[in-house]
Amino acid sequence: MTRRTFLSSATTLAPIAPALAATQSGPMPMGFNTYCLRALRWTDLQLIDYAAQQKHDAIFLQDSLDPLTKDPAHWADVRRWAAERRLHLETGGGGIMPRTPEAFQSSIDNILFNIRRAKAMGSPIIRCVLAGDRASLPPGPPEQHMQTAIRLLKAAKPQVVDAGIKIAIEIHKDFQAWEHRIIIEESGRDFVGTYMDTGNPCFVLEHPMTTLETMAPYILTLHLRDSVLYETPRGIAVQWVPLGEGVVDFKQIMDAARRLCPNVHVYIKPITGRPPQIIPYLEESYWKSFPKARASELARFLSLVRRGQPYERPMVIEDLQGRALPEHFRAAVQYQQREHVERSVAYARKELNLGLRWRA
């Protein structure tokens, strides 16, 4: 990707016009993302059984904790278990960006392993994350990391195409939507698309609707997560909460999704139990990571922030990244994760008209 190509793409890639998009008539199929129940440490079979018991249409098996998760024989079992319970299954891996040039081949090997695993499980996609967040990207300008991602994805293309699946890059805390769009277009949208997550755009100062509208032509899977947002002296605070209890208008989000990306499965993905995170956008140093951020998109995001306030309902805050869950909190966090998933699913069914099997 040359500098001229990058600048041209950045200015000409506009969101798809709603009038040109298909429209979903009736409810969209719905499932849940298994990462939401990570504290329970259930096996893949337990998670699949839970999805069936809860009358879901689908299950997204993310960051499996099953002790057999790397065993090819287990992959065939997962495929069979999901099929027997009439569940659509999607899965994939985690981060793929190499931190050093020497790690490039290891990153490719990681993608290829997850291609084999996803294919064997019957998933039509392989989920990938470019980086944990903007700060986790290696030193260098964003364009450099975008070019690395493009080279990485192109290197894996033959195996992805042979497997008959697509790579779904998760909207995470690393790139803004217009940057994601360039990565997909330059890599090849015939085999790369988007794992749309509504909870992560806030961490790159982007309204989830901006992300949805920008990425709509590429969305392969849609994951719903709500946030509270509010102003602080350094910038804004973001905290994830059960669906329907934050500041995001999910009726508006789903109205747009039914127009713009109607043929995907929708997954409920509340990740709760974490403290508010401060995004210090009022500090000059923050913008060194976003040299080409768009003022109009920031203004749209801030209009969402100014409608928000701190979360006032009870929540156990003990799901701290990088720290083991204290044993004396384990039962409370396990109960909370399951209750928050089921509360979010109930909201999605009643207020957003999602899901099919539960109606029978």
Over residues 264-286, mean pLDDT: 96
Q: What is the pLDDT of residue 25?
A: 64
Q: What is the pLDDT of residue 125?
A: 98
Over residues 101-113, mean pLDDT: 95
Whether residue 183 is contained in a domain is answered as yes
Residue 284 has pLDDT above 80, yes or no: yes
Whether residue 283 is contained in a domain is answered as yes
Q: Taking Cα atoms as reference points, which of 43, 13, 10, 48 lies closest to residue 32?
A: 48
Contacts of 229 (CB under 8 A, 6+ apart): 202, 236, 237, 238, 246, 247, 304, 305, 308
Whether residue 17 is contained in a domain is answered as no
Whether residue 16 is contained in a domain is answered as no
Confidence band for 17, pLDDT divided at 50, 70 and 90: very low
Render pLDDT for 137-174 as a digit per residue (tens, 0 to 9): 888 999 999 999 999 999 999 999 999 999 999 999 99
Render pLDDT for 173-187 as a digit per residue (tens, 0 to 9): 999 999 999 999 999
Domain residue limits at 197: 3-10+22-359
- For the entire predicted model, the pTM comes to 0.92
Whether residue 253 is contained in a domain is answered as yes
Residue 133 has pLDDT above 80, yes or no: yes
Residue 256 has pLDDT above 50, yes or no: yes
Q: Could you give the number of structural domains in the chain?
A: 1
Whether residue 329 is contained in a domain is answered as yes
Average pLDDT of the chain, as a whole number: 93
CATH number, residue 178: 3.20.20.150
Residue 4 has pLDDT above 90, yes or no: no
